[in-house]
Structure formats: structure tokens, C-alpha cells
Amino acid sequence: MTTMIAPASERRLKNHTSIGDTVRNSFTMAYRGLLKIKRTPEQLVDVTVQPILFTLMFAYLFGGAIAGNVAGYLPTLIPGILVQTVITTSVVTGVQLREDMDKGVFDRFKSLPIARIAPLSGALLADTIRYGIATTLTFVMGYVIGYHPSGGIGNVVLAALLVIACSWAISWIFAFFGVIARSASSVQGISMIVLFPLTFLSNAFVPVKSLPEVLQWFVNINPISHLVTAVRELANNGAVTGDVWISLLGAAVIVAIFAPLTVRAYMRKA
Amino acid sequence: MSASTRFPEAGSGAARAASVAGADWAIEAHGLVKTFGSNRAVDGVDLNVRTGSVYGVLGPNGAGKTTTISMLATLLRPDGGEARIFGHDVVAQSQIVRQLIGVTAQFASVDETLSATENLIIFSRLLGLSRAESKRKAAELLEEFSLTEAARRPLKKFSGGMRRRLDLAASLIAQPPLTFLDEPTTGLDPRTRTQMWDTIRRLVASGSTVLLTTQMLDEADQLADRIAVIDRGRVIAEGTSDELKASVGTSSLQLRLDDQADTDDALRAIQAVLGVAGTASPEGARITAPMADADRVTDLLVTLREAGIRLAEMSVQKPTLDEVFLTITGHGAEDQNDSSDADPRETERVDA
């Protein structure tokens, strides 16, 4: 307080936030998210233990039954379990957002002249780190037990990026639940009820032909199936199929619907 | 001594701003209303705060203080009425208003998991400062609020007073011309409370307008140029602290005698010197008398000594918030959260 404060009448003020400001604010909020991860590394347990445990479990449990042996099952399983793991991880985004919003610091964010969306988009952006960790560990685990995708490293990276991008988009759904729910545990509850059928009633773990007809119909329209197929084709064959574009389009639609909904709910809750 | 006489800068700030057309009011609020369910937490509040002044909003828990501040600070949308900050509407021009205010909430609005420096850097970056500027600003504010030593420690290890100081520091990054302080000293011990008061005075001296809420008449008296007493969502009295106290009545003088046998003599002396009737407590030895003119207490003490009446203890009891309420409303300043479903924000915080 050594300097005198400029009076209100001498300040240059504007009543809107530019796109540049919005991006800058979001990245600052993402930096906050990364710092929080650094301070509480224990919250990374789900993205480190789950990929290793589930990959091992599913490979040895179902490998023999579904594909005759574990090695033959891996090209089917790894892309499937990758999608399932990373999307499940995006639920945590909603849960943590709910916990975060209950803290006093969100009152300050609301009182600052920043883009309204920044506290949300920043948190979601920081969580792509978590998806990155889960993706890497799943592929590494797969490699260790004998998964050697013939698409090559470049296509595996592309597939990884596709999964991360889609999970980021899907995390807006859980962010929405996070904003409207009363408590963190209810976010977890609602999200799991949505996710369990979506991830398991897909082509992630079993050949679609083995399913009853009604189920086949659902599995084929399930967006998760398209993402799994896209990842499989990319990683295993190095082929960019229509499923890639369907997945990206789906992701864009989800963001277009849920980002504004979430921000509006967040503002109303203010 | 009131803040305005001690800090003439604050007064001259108001005079300077008044010369700029339309800039003499920092806050103009008319008929603000906020309802939560069936409860009208704020029920038609009018507030006018002059630029450069310190304005105190005094009231018990649940009276609507926090809700009023939240509306003025664009955190809550008013259900009725209107408010302008330096002439800018809080609803239509909320983003402009946010550039002009700093808010220190009742419970520290800082990130628990991060360090003090990290908190300040993030808020600075959000306010548009560059990386280097943010670092400098954070260091500067930590120095100013005597937090440099604790700068790297996570906030979980901070005391209540340190947290409040950091919170205030965070509100001052953009050097806002208007600062809201919601119960800035609630829960602080007397020493840190005095420190906080000094900080607020320096803030005012640097040219900021301050709106603070408090439950303590004494605090409003110490800091504020004008005070609004708020009760059940309405402003029930407004004026300078002197005006308010005059309406409440005088302080009272309390004496405890060394020897209980002197009680009658002492009462006679009080009647003779102060011209008012004192009352002795039933268990004796303790006398209370209204004290209209502090100067004449000197005469009373001299008289008592000459009469050989020895005092064990002497104190002055100021009018309390409770008495203010009793005088103005006819009911005491009981916690208003008990009445129906009060402001959920405040209820939640009281529970916490």
C-alpha cells in the first residue's frame, strides 16, 4: 500500500472478456490444477494402479475364453481397456470439481474479472495430464505382457491423443454433474450409473457377434464402440477409419452441448 | 478517536473524488432484495457509500450482511432493487465492477493445498499480470503483510490471522478502489485483531474505499466513518458512529470497592459529583453508574480518595451491539439463523 490507488474514474474498463483472455485465464487455472496434483500426488492412484491392475486382470481372466490365448486377445483388449480406463478417469474430474467448488477459493474466482468458464475449463485441461498417464501406462502394460501393435509408434501416439481428446470432451458431462450435484459422492454415483453400461455394453472386451441381437444393436450405435474401433484400427493396422471422425464429431457435439450448460449451471450456483 | 480524524487522507480522498462528476459515490444501492426460499435474507437494503470513506455494516449473524456484500460484489444476483459500484450496474456491467473491487470473504478464499506465494501468483496471473510481474507482486504483498517467512509453507499450517492477512493481500493485487471486508476480524485474537485494524487503516490511507461488516460495535466505531445497522435484512439505523452511540446512550462506569461497608458513602459521592444515581449490585461492593461526561469521573475519583474510600477495580462498560439492538429494535442481537431457514450460505458457514 505504498503507492496510491488509482481512482475508479481514471481506469480503463471493459465489460467483456476477449477470447485471448479466456484462453490465458484457462491456462492459469490449468497451472493451478497441475500445482494441486503436484502437492497431492496420492490423487493419482486411480490413473496409475487401475491401468496396470485391470489390464492384467482382464487379459488373464478372459484371454483364454475369448481369443484362445492371452497374446491373441491383447490386440482386442488393450484398445478396449484403454478407452474404458481413461473415460472412467474422467469421472474423477467431476468429483474433484465438486469438492473444489465447495472451497472458499471459488468465491474469489467468481469475484475476479476473469472469463467465467476459466475455473472449469482450467480444471478440465489440467486433468488431461491424468488421462495421459493412464493412457501411457495401459500401453506400456500391454507391451510388457506381449502386445505389439503393428500400426507403429506414430499411430499408437495418434490413438492415444484421440482417446485423451475424447475423454476431455466426455469430462464436460461429469463436470456438469459436478456443478449441479449436492455432494462429491453423488457425482460419483450418477456418473458410474451412466458409465458402466456405456463402457461394458460396447465392443471393448468381447466380439460383437457373440452378443444377442438386441444387444448388438445397442453396441453398434454406442459411441464408445466407435472410439474403441477407431483406436484398434489406428494402433493395430495404422488405418484412419471413419470411426475416428465419428468419435471426434461426437466429442465436439458433447462439448458444444455440455460446456455452455455447465457454465450456465456454475453461474447460477454463484 | 474515529478513523476519519486519525487518517485525514481518507477524508481528503472523498473531497478529491467529489470534484470528479459522478464519482463521489463508491456504492449506491437501492432496495436490494435477496430471497432464499421463503426467507427474505436481504429485504430492501439501501446503502450509499462515499468514495474514500470507510463504511461499516453492523449486525448479528444471519442479519443479511454477507448476502448484501455478495450482491454488491457480483457473487449473487439480486432478486430485486439495484446497485451501482462507481456508477456501474452490478448486474449489467458485472465484469467492469469486478475490475474495481477486491473481496475478502468471511472464510479465507485462498487455496489450501498451495503455498502463499503460489496463491498470490495465480491470482496475479488471472488479473493479467505477466509471470515476472506476478512474482514481484507476490513477494511485495507477502513482505507488506509480514508473511515472507511463511511464503513457501502450505496454507494448512497457517494460523487464522495469517490466513486472513493472505486473503486480504490477495484482494489487493489489482489495487482496487473499493474493498469489501466481510467480518475481517471474526475469530482473531486481540493482538492479530489490532494488526488487522492497522492494515485496514493503511489501506484507506492509500486511497481505497472500504466496506466492512462486523458484529462488534467497537470495531465499527474504531474504523468506520459511517455505520449502517442491519437487522433481519433491513437497514434499521444509519449514521456516524457518534450519532449511533448517542442514540444508544452512554457508557457506564463500574466500580468495585475494597470495603463493602463504604457502598452507601460511595453512592452518595456519585450522586453529588456526577449528578446521577448509581446502583449497587445485590452482593454489594460493585457499583454501576451511567457516565455521560468522562471528564467528571476525575472529580469523582478525587472525592472518593478524600473520603478514604478505596477502590479494588474500576472499569468503563461501553454500549454493546446488544444494547444498540435493544434500543433500536426492541429485541436483542440474537443469532438470527434460528429464525426460519436463514441464508443457506451463512448457515452453512456457522455450522462449519
| Residue-range domains of chain B with CATH | 3-113+154-247 (3.40.50.300), 250-317 (3.30.70.2030)
Residues A31-43: tens digit of each pLDDT: 999 998 888 888 8
Nearest to A247 by CA among A264, A268, A269, A231: A231
Residues A202-220: tens digit of each pLDDT: 998 888 888 999 999 999 9
CB proximity B205 to A under 8 Å: yes
Domain ranges of chain A: 22-32+43-269
- Distance (Å) of CA B191 to CA A105, B130, B213: 26, 36, 19
CB proximity B151 to A under 8 Å: no
3-state secondary structure of A165: helix
CB proximity A210 to B under 8 Å: no
d(CA B185, CA A14): 34
Residue B56, strand partner residues: B212, B227
For cell 453396441, name the residue: A219
What is the predicted ipTM? 0.83
Alpha helices in B50-107 (DSSP H): 65-72, 94-100
pLDDT at site B87: 92
Cβ atoms < 10 Å from Cβ of B349:
16
Contact status, residue B48 vs residue B27, Cβ threshold 8 Å: yes
CB proximity B88 to A under 8 Å: yes
Nearest to B218 by CA among B134, B299, B137, B319: B319
Residue A112 DSSP class: S
Q: A104: nearest CA in chain B?
A: B109
Smallest CA–CA distance, residue B291 to chain A, in Å, is: 40
Q: B89: nearest CA in chain A?
A: A15
Residues A43-93: tens digit of each pLDDT: 888 888 989 999 999 999 998 888 888 888 999 999 999 999 999 888 888
Cβ-Cβ contacts under 8 Å, A106 against chain B = 109
- Distance (Å) of CA A123 to CA A118, B125, B198, B329: 8, 16, 37, 48
d(CA A182, CA A164): 28
Residues B302-349: tens digit of each pLDDT: 999 998 888 888 888 877 666 776 777 666 666 555 444 334 443 333
Give the CA count within 13 Å in the CB-facing half-sphere of A60: 7
Whether B73 sits inside 8 A of A113 (CB atoms) is: no
Cβ-Cβ contacts under 8 Å, A5 against chain B = 175-177, 206-208
3-state secondary structure of A75: helix
B84 sits in which H/E element: strand B80-85
Whether B123 sits inside 8 A of A112 (CB atoms) is: yes
Sheet holding B25-36, edge to edge: B39-50, B25-36, B80-85, B88-89
What pTM value is reported for the model? 0.77
Contact status, residue B107 vs residue A106, Cβ threshold 8 Å: no
CB proximity A5 to B under 8 Å: yes
pLDDT at site B165: 87
CB proximity A20 to B under 8 Å: no
